[in-house]
Amino acid sequence: MRRALAIARAEFLIVRRNRWVFMATLIMVLFALALTFAGSAPTGALGVDMLTVSVASMTTLSVYLAPLLALMMAFDSIAGEAERGGLALILSYPVSRGEMLMGKFIAHLAALAFAMTVGFGAAGAVAAFAGGAAPESMMALLRLILTSILLGAVFLALGYMISALSGSSTGAAGMSAGLWLIFVVLYDLGLLGALVLDNGGAFTQTAFPWVMAANPADAFRLWNIAASDAVALTSGMTGAATALPAWAAPLSLCLWPVLAFLLARLAFRRVEA
Amino acid sequence: MTDAVLSIAAATKERGSLRTLNAVSLDLRAGERVALLGHNGAGKTTLMKLILGLTPLSAGRITVDGAAPGSAYARAATAYLPEAVAFHKSLTGREQLALFARLAGVSTREVGPLLDRVGLADAADRRIGTWSKGMRQRLGLAQVLLGRPRVALLDEPTSGLDPISRHELYAIIDELAAEGAAVLIASHALTEVEARTDRIAILSRGDLVANDTLANLSRRAGLPTKLRIRALPGAADAIAGQTGGARVNGASVEILCAPERKMEELRRLSHLGDLVADIEMTPPGLEDLYRHYAEGGRT
């Protein structure tokens, strides 16, 4: 663990120096603020405070942005290092591949967590200041930040896996874009298509909510929506959320980072330094 | 050899149907400097990666101070300088070396003096992205010196270095060996390795074709010594006629002779008296030896 922390320390310096932390935070703040102001219109009509509406909008934002930022940070970390010849040197030291991966993961997750906390926190503060915030909506905001970090963790680890499998930095970039598209866009489209074909049959009744919760991006959405009636109301996505037991989406989102990290570790084993 | 720190016995590496290393056996004792020579693709880097445990052996056995390659003990005992060494551009030299120190389990207090020793004290707190190739190579060498390795593997350590830095690098390698490390240096820079190593190993297409001291290798190869006689004006033909040598560029004659006949030949030349302006003697160099062993097949 001491060696993993040594790697984490150096990696964090790197993401800070090459302005990754700054850029990610800036993107989060700008998008979160923009959504908060643009989304404040329906407040009166729905009878909820501004922070709740803001959290609902930011949930939708985070589904897209958290995986994207995480993949952008992760895709180069193994393939790039192998290409530059640094991997052989690091691995000639008594540090295991698992420790090396864990070190990168800690540093990248810390950077991502910082960006999420500052971005959503700033937007939340503005919304609370302008339109008031009930304790329940503060909870929703906190939940949003924590689940966004979890979602980021999933895609960081998936990014490492791709980086280990692809063999080249450019290949990893392409595969990352594909992975993002599949998890965030195509999966839902596929489900929608299945629903239409099934036309309210057995799939829609029983399997659909579970299949949805199996995708970390959807699990993230379900968790945030199911946990707060007010957020569900403003996002209009109650159906799937209520069809599942309350633990399903949180379990999925908590298991995914572990599973993805194990997959990345397995893929990394095959990389020849 | 039982006192070998690095022992390689019949090491074989196959990649698919291609055999990149064919039953190579080589032992290094503590404090010994061995040059590993060979063309590109002869298997030098593959051998180093096998010693580091970065890639598995297909057959044979390697031990580093008694431990298996890639084991925690072997990795702690081994230092490695890769051929194209790349560091993180956005770290400073001090930060990068501190990372290596932490990975090696060495106190970060060693970092400052080490940077000093390789001549990077002034640049230590600048980002590596702004450094020259030579400076990065020195940093690579600094990390080799961390924690007194038992075995040091240097892959083309002089590439990209100017002559003065190269000289300093060899001085550091000498110190490393004096402290008891077995040093294996893969190199193309044949003439530099000549004066600086105890033994020479030559790889050719995955086979170890030579492994001995320079003196023994030259004796066994029996390559001729070259005598170049510079004649006084107009005397070149006469000298060529009397010695049976070959005329070169007008005023000189060249004679090739076996090493043991060298003195005999010189005595004969001294009888030529004042026809001779100068004699230059060139024993076979590493370049010639290398060509003999690498291209002449096994001995």
Residue B93: its chain A contacts at CB < 8 A? none
Alpha-carbon span A256 to A39, nearest angstrom: 30
Residue A6: its chain B contacts at CB < 8 A? 99, 102-103
Query: Rounded to the nearest 5 degrees, what angle is found at the Cα of A56, between the Cα atoms of A51 and A59?
Result: 120
- Poorest-pLDDT segment among A30-34, B121-125, B158-162, B226-230: B158-162
Asked if A49 and A43 count as a contact pair (C-beta separation under 8 A), the reply is yes
Candidates B72, B127, B143; nearest CB to A94: B72
Alpha-carbon span B54 to B23, nearest angstrom: 18
Four-CA torsion B165, B168, B172, B177, nearest 10 degrees: 110
Half-sphere CA count of A133, side-chain side, radius 13 A = 20
- Poorest-pLDDT segment among A34-43, A128-137, B278-287: A34-43
The pLDDT score that the predictor gives to residue B60 is 92
- Poorest-pLDDT segment among A138-142, B3-7, B157-161: B157-161
The pLDDT score that the predictor gives to residue A241 is 62
The pLDDT score that the predictor gives to residue A40 is 61
The pLDDT score that the predictor gives to residue B163 is 83
The pLDDT score that the predictor gives to residue A143 is 93
User: What integer is the mean pLDDT of B87-115?
Assistant: 93
ipTM of model over 0.95 = no
Q: Measured between CA atoms, how close is A12 to chain B, in angstroms? A: 10
Candidates B87, B103, B127; nearest CB to A93: B103
Size of interface A-B (CB pairs under 8 A): 69
Alpha-carbon span A183 to A167, nearest angstrom: 22
Alpha-carbon span B203 to B22, nearest angstrom: 10
**In this predicted model, what pLDDT tens digit does every residue of A176-224 receive, in sequence order?**
999 999 999 999 899 888 888 888 777 777 788 888 889 999 999 888 8
Residue A92: its chain B contacts at CB < 8 A? 52, 54, 75, 78-80
Instruction: Flag if B99 and A88 touch (Cβ within 8 Å).
Output: no
A85 lies within 8 A of chain B by CB: yes
Alpha-carbon span A47 to A134, nearest angstrom: 12
A19 lies within 8 A of chain B by CB: no
Q: Tell me the whole-structure pTM to 2 decimals.
A: 0.85
Please, which residues have CB within 8 angstroms of residue A154's CB and are 6 or more apart in sequence? A67, A70, A216, A253, A256, A257, A260
Candidates B83, B99, B105; nearest CB to A10: B99
**In this predicted model, what pLDDT tens digit does every residue of A15-72 receive, in sequence order?**
999 888 999 999 999 988 888 877 665 555 555 677 888 888 888 889 999 999 999 9
Chain B residue at shortest CA distance from A99: B103
pLDDT of B257 > 90? The answer is no
B207 torsion bin: left (phi>0), alpha (psi -120 to 50), beta (else): beta
pLDDT of B1 > 50? The answer is no
User: What integer is the mean pLDDT of A226-240?
Assistant: 62
Average pLDDT, chain B: 86
The pLDDT score that the predictor gives to residue B79 is 94
User: What integer is the mean pLDDT of B55-70?
Assistant: 92
Length of chain A equals: 273
A164, amino acid identity: A
Candidates B75, B99, B105; nearest CB to A92: B75
Please, which residues have CB within 8 angstroms of residue A124's CB and are 6 or more apart in sequence? A51, A54, A55, A133, A138, A141
pLDDT of B167 > 60? The answer is yes
Query: Rounded to the nearest 5 degrees, what angle is found at the Cα of A94, between the Cα atoms of A88 and A99?
Result: 85
Instruction: Flag if A94 and B95 touch (Cβ within 8 Å).
Output: no
Asked if A152 and A69 count as a contact pair (C-beta separation under 8 A), the reply is yes
A17 lies within 8 A of chain B by CB: yes
Give the mutation candidate from A3, A93, A104 for the B interface (greatest B CB count, under 10 A): A93
The pLDDT score that the predictor gives to residue B178 is 92
CA dihedral sign of residues B258, B264, B268, B274: positive
Q: Measured between CA atoms, how close is B86 to chain A, in angstroms? A: 5
Asked if B184 and B48 count as a contact pair (C-beta separation under 8 A), the reply is yes
A1 lies within 8 A of chain B by CB: no
Give the burial class of B254: count Cβ atoms within 10 A of its Cβ; 0-12 exposed, 13-18 middle, 19 or more buried.
Answer: middle
CA distances from B277 to A1, A24, B240, B266, B283 (A): 73, 78, 14, 14, 20
Alpha-carbon span B31 to B94, nearest angstrom: 28
Instruction: Flag if B52 and A84 touch (Cβ within 8 Å).
Output: no
Alpha-carbon span B284 to B221, nearest angstrom: 10
Give the mutation candidate from B46, B103, B126 for the A interface (greatest A CB count, under 10 A): B103
CA dihedral sign of residues B49, B54, B60, B61: positive
The pLDDT score that the predictor gives to residue A236 is 52
DSSP symbol at B127? B
For chain B, percent of residues with pLDDT exceeding 70: 97
pLDDT grade, residue A255 (50/70/90)? very high
Alpha-carbon span A94 to A66, nearest angstrom: 33
The pLDDT score that the predictor gives to residue B267 is 86
DSSP symbol at B232? P
The pLDDT score that the predictor gives to residue A9 is 94
Asked if B119 and A19 count as a contact pair (C-beta separation under 8 A), the reply is no
Structure tokens, B140? 């690579």
Residue A272: its chain B contacts at CB < 8 A? 54-55
User: What integer is the mean pLDDT of B158-165?
Assistant: 81
Q: Measured between CA atoms, how close is A98 to chain B, in angstroms? A: 14
Instruction: Flag if A14 and B84 touch (Cβ within 8 Å).
Output: no
User: What integer is the mean pLDDT of B59-87?
Assistant: 90
List, in sequence order, the alpha helices (H) in B197-285. 214-221, 236-243, 262-270
